[in-house]
Structures are given as structure tokens and as C-alpha cells.
Amino acid sequence: MTMKIALDPYMLRRVPLTELPGLVADLGYEYIELSPREDFLPFFLHPRADRARIASFRQALAAAGVGIASVLPLYHWSGPGEEERQAAVRNWKRAIQIAVDLGADVMNSEFNGRPESPELSEAQFMRSMDELLPVFEREGVRLVLEPHPDDFIEDGRAAVDLIRGLDRDFASFLYCAPHTFHQGGDIDGIMKCAGPLLTHVHIADSFDHRASSGLRYIVNPPGSAARIHQHLDIGQGDVDWDVFFGTLAEVGFDGIATVCVFAWEERARESSVYNLEQIRHYLAKHAPTR
């Protein structure tokens, strides 16, 4: 089982952009998953990076010996409104060009949209795909999608089916471990359902909000539609990591594995090192024997 192990440096986003690659290398990582930053690709807004900033960041990456495994933008490409969708498509086109300029050939994101309006959200998403899939194909960039709590698709199998329906070789599925309990709770079943569409995983722990007869968390007022999950260090939650890594080994996973812990900004460096050590431990434990 081979994979690129990357760090989502969101907890380190206050580190200056050109210092980030060196820090990531010091933490033991060879790859970054570039998630939203206010000075580069902000959440839901047009990118802030210009040619000079892109060039200086790329130079810093090269100096540190760190690569960009993937670029993760978040835009409202599934609406709910048409103006939001059109703005998202514009933002996506610019973000794709930035990824290409950085030398990245993978971008990953969420379905977005609204769970209370799944048909409208899917229609808006497909309209965006009509405009953007030709751009991804032309630029040689792979698109990897994940279901997210509060998306119009939250279930893992439903997400795999929608991606399969896109029927593009460059569109695939991301299994996000901290979303395990919102997307069905069936780690090995969803991974095996995805099959070769599984090209990317996110690694962080989370509690099972369904546990204790649904009373693990008590949210008021009763009946609230709020979704609750965490992005904790490996071992701090309820994700079965033996099943997670054992299934990756079973299916011969050779994609991108990103550490995306967000819960411990006060100990971001220690957390990043710890989770890399845990990944190596589980990879060795579940390494195929011959």
C-alpha cells in the first residue's frame, strides 16, 4: 500500500505563506493539501493570489522540498441561488488556474448545496459541472469530491453513485474519516463500494453522534438540524482505525491521505507530528504480507 501523506495546514494558517513549506517539512511531511487561506484562496470568495504571490510560494515549496498533493477550494457551486452559483464557477475557474500554476494536478472539494433542497442543489451542481468539467479535463486536473455534513449529499454511497454518474475518468471520491458517522458509519462498505473511485482520504478522528441512544450530544432546541462532528487526533474519537487502514490495504489504496485535524490550534505542531506517527504505525500494522 503506497500513498502520498499530506498535511492540511489550516491550524497553521497564520504562518506566513512563504514560511509554511519549511515548517511542514520540519514536521515530517513531504506534501501539503492547500486548504482555504485568507491571503490565497479564501472560503467562498474570489482567490486573492496574484502571479507574484504564486511564484514566491512555489519557490518556497521547491526550497523546502515539499509538493502540493492537492488544492482544496470551497465555493457555493451548488447554489442555492443562481448568482451564488455563477460566482462560484468564476471562482473555480481562477482556482483551477492557480492550481495549475502551482504544479498541482488534483483538486478536492465538497458538494455544498442544502440538504433541505437536494433536488435543486443537485441541479445547480450539475449545471456547474457542465461548465467546469471541460476546464478540469483541458487543464489535466483531477477533481475529487466528498460528502459533508450539511451538504445536499451526506451519505457515502449516494456520493459514490453521483460521482459514478458523472462518468469522467478524472472525477473520483474522497472518504473523510471524521465524517464517518454522518455518511453511514460503514467505513469498509463505503470504501469497497467506491472501488477504484476512492483516490483520496482525510484523516482525523470524531465521536459518533448517534451513540448512547442519540444522546451523546444534546442540542437545543429539540429537533435542531445542526450537524456535529470533530476533527480530532487519531485515537481521541470513535473511528475504528484498524478497519480504516485495514480496508485501505485490502483495496490497494495508492492515493492521497491528508491529515486534517482542526481541534488543537494551541498545539498544532505537536498534533501534526503525532498523527503522522500514528499513520505510519497503522500502515506498518496493516501492510500486506507476502
- 102-113 confidence digits (pLDDT tens): 999 999 999 999
Let me know if residue 243 belongs to a domain: yes
Q: Is the pLDDT of residue 191 over 70?
A: yes
Determine the Cα–Cα distance for residues 287 and 54; give it in Å rounded to an integer. Answer: 38
Cis peptide before 221 (omega within 30 of 0): yes
Let me know if residue 78 belongs to a domain: yes
| Residues whose CB falls within 8 Å of the CB of residue 198, separated by 6 or more in sequence, listed in order | 172, 173, 175, 191, 251, 253, 255
Residue 235, classed as helix, strand or coil, is coil
Average pLDDT, the chain: 95
Q: Considering only 12-21, 103-112, 215-224, 278-287, which range has the smallest mean pLDDT?
A: 215-224
Let me know if residue 105 belongs to a domain: yes
Q: Is the pLDDT of residue 152 over 90?
A: yes
Global pTM reads 0.95
Output helix, strand, coil percentages for the chain, rounded to the nearest 5.
45, 15, 40
Return phi, psi of residue 286, to 5°.
-105, 15
Let me know if residue 290 belongs to a domain: no
Going by pLDDT thresholds of 50, 70 and 90, the confidence category of residue 219 is confident
Q: How many structural domains are present in the chain?
A: 1
Let me know if residue 177 belongs to a domain: yes
Rounded to an integer, the average pLDDT of 201-205 is 98
Let me know if residue 162 belongs to a domain: yes
Let me know if residue 19 belongs to a domain: yes
Let me know if residue 68 belongs to a domain: yes
Q: What domain range is 111 assigned to?
A: 4-285
Q: Is the pLDDT of residue 290 over 60?
A: no
Identify the CATH number of the domain in which residue 108 sits: 3.20.20.150
Return phi, psi of residue 6, to 5°.
-120, 160
pLDDT given for residue 1 in this prediction: 62
